[in-house]
C-alpha cells in the first residue's frame, strides 16, 4: 500500500446550527459519502473530523470504511467516487458527495381516545342463572322487598325460615308493613319461588349479590333509605332505591363515586324488567323491552348491574357514606333523575292511550304526549290527567289544533280558570271539536264551494 491512499466511507452528520447545514431541507442531520486522501484508516478519520469541525458539523457515525481499490474490487467502478477522488488536492484532502438530509419521521397520528367505559355493566340473566354457580366463592343472593308494592311481605316472612330484617328501625306495625325488607334467598326456598312468581310489573323489589352478613347489609342499606334533594333543604325524603325502576334510574343518574359508595358491599344489583323501565342503550339485552310490551313478554327477564373497572376501589373507599349521615344528591343528579322519571311518565301515558287509539302508531302516541306536555307547560296544565286530556286533543285534531279551533284556545287562555277547570272544559269540548272536524272533512271531500253548481258554457 502506498504512503497515501484514497479512503471512502458513509457518514452520518449533525449540524451544530442552521447556518452549518450544507443541505436545503430543514433538518439537523444528513447522510453523505466521503472520499479522503489519507495514510491509514485512523488518519482518514482524523482528517475527516478536522474538516467537519471547521464546517460546524459533527460526525455521528462513520461506517463502510474501505479504500477505493477495495470498494471497486467488490462492487465495481463508481463514477461518483472517481469524481470525488479527482476533486481532492493537497489543500483539500476531503471530498463530500451529495449530503442527503435525514427528515424526521412523521409521527403517526395519535388515535382519538375512545369514550370512557360506562361505570355500570348491564347484562341480561334469568332466575336459574342466579343459582348455577354454587362454588364457595359465589356471593349469596339477597332480596330487598318493597312493602308498599308487595303488601303481604310480612305475612310471608313470618311463616318462612329465612334470614330477614326490616330496613326501618321503627317498631310500629303499620309502618313495618310498608317498609323495605332485606331477605336472604336460597335456591330451593319458598320465598325465592314466591318472588319469582310475582308479576315483574308489580315492582316488588330488587335482588342483590353480596358476601356481607345480614347485619352488615342492613347497616349499609339503611344509609340510603333517606336522601337530601335540592328541591327541599328542610328535611331528607324517603329514597325508594328498592323499587326496580328507581334502582335502574339510580345507576344512570348518580355520579360514579356515589354509585360506587352504594355498591361497596355488593357484587351485583339485579332488577326484574318491566315495560316502562328506562333501560340505558348500553345494556346488553337481546331485545330491549318496549313501553308497549305486555307484562308476560318480560316476565322472568332480569337485568344485572355491576360496577365496571372504571369504578375503582379507591372511589368506593375515599367517598364512603358515613353511618348516620343522610344521602345527598346534587342539582345535576337531581335533573337526571327528573329526566328519567319524565321519560317513564311519557311512556306510561302513551301506553294508556293505546286502547282508545288502537289504530295509531306507537311513535305517534309518544309524539302526541310530548306535544301535549309542551302545550300544558304554556297553559299551566302539567298534571298527568291534564296532559292526558291535551294528548287526546293532539291525537284528535293535530298538534296545531289551537290555531284552528279558537274556542279551544279560548278555554286554555281563560285567565279566570284554574288548570283543573280548563281540563274539565276541554273534556267537554272534545265532542264538539269532533263534530266540527268531521264537518270540515266532509266539506273537503264533497268540494262544496260557492258557484260549484254553475255549468261551464
Cα–Cα distance list, 147 to 180, 201, 312 (Å): 5, 15, 33
Looking only at Cα atoms, what is the longest distance across the chain?
127
What pLDDT score was predicted for residue 36? 93
Low-confidence ranges of the chain (pLDDT < 70): 1-3, 105-118, 133-136, 309-326, 447-457
Q: Give pLDDT tens digits for 179-223.
A: 999 999 998 899 999 999 999 999 999 999 999 999 999 999 999
The predicted structure's pLDDT at residue 456: 41
Q: Which three cell numbers stand for residue 5?
A: 491512499
- How far is Cα 274 from Cα 311, in angstroms, rounded to an integer? 27
Q: Look up residue 456 and give its DSSP letter.
A: P
407 and 385 Cβ atoms separated by less than 8 Å:
no
Count the neighbouring beta carbons within 10 Å of the beta carbon of residue 59: 16
Q: What is the predicted pLDDT for the residue at 388? A: 96
Give the pLDDT score at 141: 94
Tell me the C-alpha distance between 401 and 429, whole Å.
Answer: 12
String of b and e for 377-399 (b: at least 16 CB within 10 Å)? eebebeeeebbbbbbbbbbebeb
Long-range contacts from 129-136, C-beta under 8 angstroms, 24+ separation: 129/302, 130/207, 130/209, 130/270, 130/302, 131/187
Q: What is the pLDDT of residue 111?
A: 55
* pLDDT for the residue 314: 46
pLDDT at position 425: 96
Other beta carbons less than 10 A from residue 5's beta carbon: 18
* Rounded CA separation 237/446 (Å): 62
- What does the pLDDT read at residue 114? 53
Amino acid at each position: 500500500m502506498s504512503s497515501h491512499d484514497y479512503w471512502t466511507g458513509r457518514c452520518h452528520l449533525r449540524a451544530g446550527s442552521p447556518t452549518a447545514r450544507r443541505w436545503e431541507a430543514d433538518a439537523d442531520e444528513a447522510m453523505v459519502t466521503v472520499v479522503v486522501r489519507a495514510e491509514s484508516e485512523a488518519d482518514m478519520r482524523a482528517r475527516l473530523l478536522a474538516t467537519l469541525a471547521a464546517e460546524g458539523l459533527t460526525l455521528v457515525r462513520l461506517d463502510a470504511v474501505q479504500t477505493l481499490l477495495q470498494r471497486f474490487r467488490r462492487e465495481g467502478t463508481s463514477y461518483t467516487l472517481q469524481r470525488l477522488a479527482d476533486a481532492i488536492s493537497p489543500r483539500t484532502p476531503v471530498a463530500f458527495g451529495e449530503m442527503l438530509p435525514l427528515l424526521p419521521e412523521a409521527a403517526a397520528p395519535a388515535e382519538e381516545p375512545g369514550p370512557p367505559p360506562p361505570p355500570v355493566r348491564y347484562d341480561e340473566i334469568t332466575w336459574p342463572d342466579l343459582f348455577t354457580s354454587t362454588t364457595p366463592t359465589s356471593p349469596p343472593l339477597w332480596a330487598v322487598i318493597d312493602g308498599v308494592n308487595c303488601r303481604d311481605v310480612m305475612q310471608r316472612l313470618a311463616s318462612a325460615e329465612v334470614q330477614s330484617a326490616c330496613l326501618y328501625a321503627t317498631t310500629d306495625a303499620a309502618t313495618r308493613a310498608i317498609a323495605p325488607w332485606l331477605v336472604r334467598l336460597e335456591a330451593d326456598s319458598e320465598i325465592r319461588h314466591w318472588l319469582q312468581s310475582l308479576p315483574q310489573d308489580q315492582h316488588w323489589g330488587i335482588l342483590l349479590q353480596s358476601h356481607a352478613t345480614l347485619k352488615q347489609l342492613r347497616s349499609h342499606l339503611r344509609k340510603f333509605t333517606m336522601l337530601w334533594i335540592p328541591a327541599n333543604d328542610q328535611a331528607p325524603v324517603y329514597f325508594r332505591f328498592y323499587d326496580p325502576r328507581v334502582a335502574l334510574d339510580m345507576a344512570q343518574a348518580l355520579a360514579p363515586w356515589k354509585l360506587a359508595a352504594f355498591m361497596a358491599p355488593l357484587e351485583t344489583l339485579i332488577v326484574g324488567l318491566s315495560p316502562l323501565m328506562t333501560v340505558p342503550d348500553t345494556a346488553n339485552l337481546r331485545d330491549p323491552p318496549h313501553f308497549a310490551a305486555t307484562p308476560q313478554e318480560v316476565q322472568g327477564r332480569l337485568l344485572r348491574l355491576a360496577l365496571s373497572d372504571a369504578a375503582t376501589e379507591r372511589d368506593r373507599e375515599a367517598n364512603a357514606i358515613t353511618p348516620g349521615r343522610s344521602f345527598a344528591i346534587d342539582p345535576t343528579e337531581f335533573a337526571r333523575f327528573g329526566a328519567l322519571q319524565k321519560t317513564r311518565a311519557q311512556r306510561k301515558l302513551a301506553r294508556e292511550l293505546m286502547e282508545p287509539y288502537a289504530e295509531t302508531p306507537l311513535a305517534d302516541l309518544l309524539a302526541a304526549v310530548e306535544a301535549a306536555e309542551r302545550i300544558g307547560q304554556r297553559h299551566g296544565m302539567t298534571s298527568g290527567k291534564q296532559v292526558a286530556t291535551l294528548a287526546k286533543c293532539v291525537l284528535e285534531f293535530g298538534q296545531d289544533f289551537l290555531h284552528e279551533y279558537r274556542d279551544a284556545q279560548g278555554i286554555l287562555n281563560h285567565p279566570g280558570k284554574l288548570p283543573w277547570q280548563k281540563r274539565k272544559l276541554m273534556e267537554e269540548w272534545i265532542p264538539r271539536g269532533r263534530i266540527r272536524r268531521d264537518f270540515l272533512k266532509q266539506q273537503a271531500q264533497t268540494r262544496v264551494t260557492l258557484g260549484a253548481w254553475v255549468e261551464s258554457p
